[in-house]
């Protein structure tokens, strides 16, 4: 039987059997294991400061601070409604100077841009041919009258003869017919003479109306005729003048729903005062009034045309000039007025403000009126719905707000600097208008 292999580990020797060097190594190994165990316990959060580190994070934020804002307390009030419209100046009357007969222009008798009176001579067409035609018509009329006189003498002679049976009744009737024929011929020749006289008069072209005449489209030596498409000149009456304005139909509808239409059945804006601002940004000075409001809206633009009349004694308003008009549309009761700087618009174009509720700022959507307030409350929006009397609206400190943030409020005091800033913004918007 073969000898069994001994796989048993050798028995551990007692410490006395270890050499001094081995005992020292074993001591250092134990110390290292102890330190490693302590480090692992500390990493697992069982150190003396572990509880505090779990309950109070190192970078925990401090308590939220209140945001200081300025607010204005709004109230409902009565306001005059104004709207700003764009428009163009239109002459009260435009008359085209046109020839009525054919011929060469012999002379131009006016200065371009001058004021002319109705009936004033402007052009003269060569009239030699028309003079000859007039003389011929006069001669033809004289011949016709002589023939009528001869026919009348024959009729009277035949009348005597037919009474004594000197001629037949038939011959007498023929003499009467000849007289009627010659009478008709005289009338025709009189008409021809009148026509020739009119043609001769129309070689002198006169101003149809009073006004300011524009540039001459034709000059001396040009051949003109009644069938030509180009007028010789144009005359415009510029005092007074009209200003054609366009009002969005939705504003007209909103105003009608507020029962601002007059009781006489006319347009609600008829006879309302209008103030003009010229292209240089200055006021025109003279106040006009609406004389006409169209009864239908333009199908392509949705606009209703208004026409206002203005005195223009100095000729400052020129046809075709672009102007902006401020139109008074009446009064509106129970409307809230909010400073423009308090109103913001979201990505969808909805108006909103920051309203203070229970010491916190909240967003409040608004419905604004398109009309402007009166001059005493300029730089404000008119609020139709969304705010009530007594609400506090944030006017300053808006950029630091978010829904629910606590705020400390102070009453807003409008300054002249704020008004000047709003004036600059309004002027910039007006300057960018077409």
Q: Above 70 in pLDDT, residue 7? A: no
Residue pair 164/136 in contact by the 8 Å Cβ criterion: no
Closest listed residue to residue 106, CA positions, set 87, 121, 91: 121
For the stretch 316-362, pLDDT in tens is 898 889 999 888 776 666 788 888 889 999 888 899 999 999 889 99
Alpha-carbon Rg for the chain, nearest whole angstrom, is 51
The answer on pLDDT for 59 being more than 60 is no
Domain 73-89+238-431 classification at class level:
mainly beta
CATH architecture of 128-201: Orthogonal Bundle (1.10)
Per-residue pLDDT tens digits for 111-168: 988 889 999 999 999 999 999 999 999 999 999 999 999 999 988 888 888 888 888 8
How far is it, in rounded angstroms, from Cα 296 to Cα 249? 9
The dihedral of CA 92, 97, 98, 100: what is its sign? Answer: positive
366 near 387, Cβ under 8 Å? yes
DSSP string, 376-419: GG-SEEEEEES--TT-EEEEE-GGG--TT-BEEEEE----HHHH
Band of pLDDT at residue 68, cut at 50, 70 and 90: very high
Tell me, what's the pLDDT at 297? 83
| pTM over 0.95, yes/no | no
DSSP 8-state secondary structure symbol assigned to residue 342: G
pLDDT in tens, 81-113: 777 888 999 998 999 999 999 999 999 999 988
Residue 349, φ and ψ in degrees, nearest 5: 80, 10
| Residues 387-397: tens digit of each pLDDT | 888 899 999 98
pLDDT score recorded for residue 255: 63
Tell me, what's the pLDDT at 193?
A: 94
Check residue 413 and give its pLDDT: 85
Q: How far apart are CA 243 and CA 2, in angstroms?
A: 133
- In the chain, domain spans: 73-89+238-431, 99-126+203-230, 128-201
Tokens standing for residue 180: 């009627």
pLDDT of 417 reads: 43
- Across 27-31, 101-105, 265-269, which has the greatest mean pLDDT? 101-105
CA distances from 400 to 319, 366, 397, 405, 408 (A): 51, 21, 6, 9, 12
Higher pLDDT, residue 108 or 430: 108
Residue 268 pLDDT class (50, 70, 90 cuts)? low
Q: Is the pLDDT of residue 53 over 70?
A: no
| Whether the predicted pLDDT of 222 surpasses 80 | yes
Which one, of 246, 371, 255, lies nearest residue 298 by Cα? Answer: 246
Range with the poorest average pLDDT among 36-40, 174-178, 289-293: 36-40
**Contact 372/51 with Cβ under 8 angstroms?**
no
- Given the candidates 3.40.50.2300, 2.40.50.100, 3.40.50.720, 3.40.50.1000, the CATH classification of the domain at 99-126+203-230 is 2.40.50.100
pLDDT band at residue 306, thresholds of 50, 70 and 90? Answer: confident
How many beta carbons lie within 10 A of that of residue 53, not counting itself? 11
Angle (CA) 232 236 242, round 5°:
150
Q: What is the pLDDT of residue 231?
A: 93
Reported as a pLDDT band with limits 50, 70 and 90, residue 38 is very low
């Amino acid at each position: 039987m073969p000898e069994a292999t001994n796989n048993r580990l050798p028995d551990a020797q007692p410490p006395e059997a270890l050499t001094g060097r081995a005992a020292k190594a074993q001591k250092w190994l134990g110390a290292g294991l102890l330190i490693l165990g302590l480090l692992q316990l500390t990493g697992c959060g069982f150190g003396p400061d572990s509880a505090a580190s779990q309950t109070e994070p190192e970078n925990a934020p401090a308590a939220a601070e209140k945001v200081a804002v300025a607010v204005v307390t709004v109230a409902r009030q009565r306001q005059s409604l104004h709207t700003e419209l764009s428009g163009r100046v239109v002459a009260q009357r435009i008359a085209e100077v046109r020839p009525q007969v054919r011929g060469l222009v012999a002379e131009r008798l006016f200065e371009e841009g001058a004021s002319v009176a109705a009936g004033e001579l402007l052009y003269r067409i060569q009239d030699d041919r028309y003079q000859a035609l007039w003389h011929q018509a006069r001669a033809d009329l004289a011949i016709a009258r002589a023939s009528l006189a001869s026919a009348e003498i024959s009729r009277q002679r035949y009348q005597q003869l037919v009474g004594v049976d000197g001629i037949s009744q038939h011959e007498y009737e023929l003499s009467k017919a000849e007289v009627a024929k010659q009478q008709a011929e005289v009338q025709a020749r009189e008409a021809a003479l009148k026509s020739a006289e009119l043609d001769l008069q129309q070689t002198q072209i006169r101003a149809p109306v009073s006004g300011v005449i524009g540039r001459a489209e034709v000059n001396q030596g040009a051949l003109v005729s009644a069938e030509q498409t180009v007028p010789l000149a144009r005359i415009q009456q510029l005092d007074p003048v009209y200003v054609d304005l366009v009002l969005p139909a939705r504003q007209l509808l909103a105003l009608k729903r507020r029962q601002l239409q007059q009781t006489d059945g006319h347009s609600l804006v008829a006879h309302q005062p209008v103030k003009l601002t010229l292209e240089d940004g200055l006021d025109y000075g003279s106040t006009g009034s609406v004389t006409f409001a169209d009864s239908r809206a333009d199908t392509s633009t949705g606009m209703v045309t208004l026409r206002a009349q203005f005195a223009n004694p100095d000729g400052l308003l020129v046809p075709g000039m672009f102007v902006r008009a401020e139109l008074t549309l009446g009064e509106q009761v129970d409307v809230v007025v909010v400073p423009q700087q308090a109103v913001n618009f979201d990505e969808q174009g909805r108006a909103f403000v920051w309203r203070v509720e229970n010491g916190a700022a909240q967003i409040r959507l608004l419905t604004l009126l398109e009309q402007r307030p009166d001059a005493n409350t300029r730089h404000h929006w008119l609020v139709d719905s969304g705010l009530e009397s007594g609400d506090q609206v944030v006017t300053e400190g808006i950029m630091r707000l978010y829904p629910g943030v606590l705020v400390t409020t102070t009453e807003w005091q409008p300054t002249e600097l704020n008004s000047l800033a709003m004036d600059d913004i309004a002027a910039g918007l007006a300057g960018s208008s077409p």
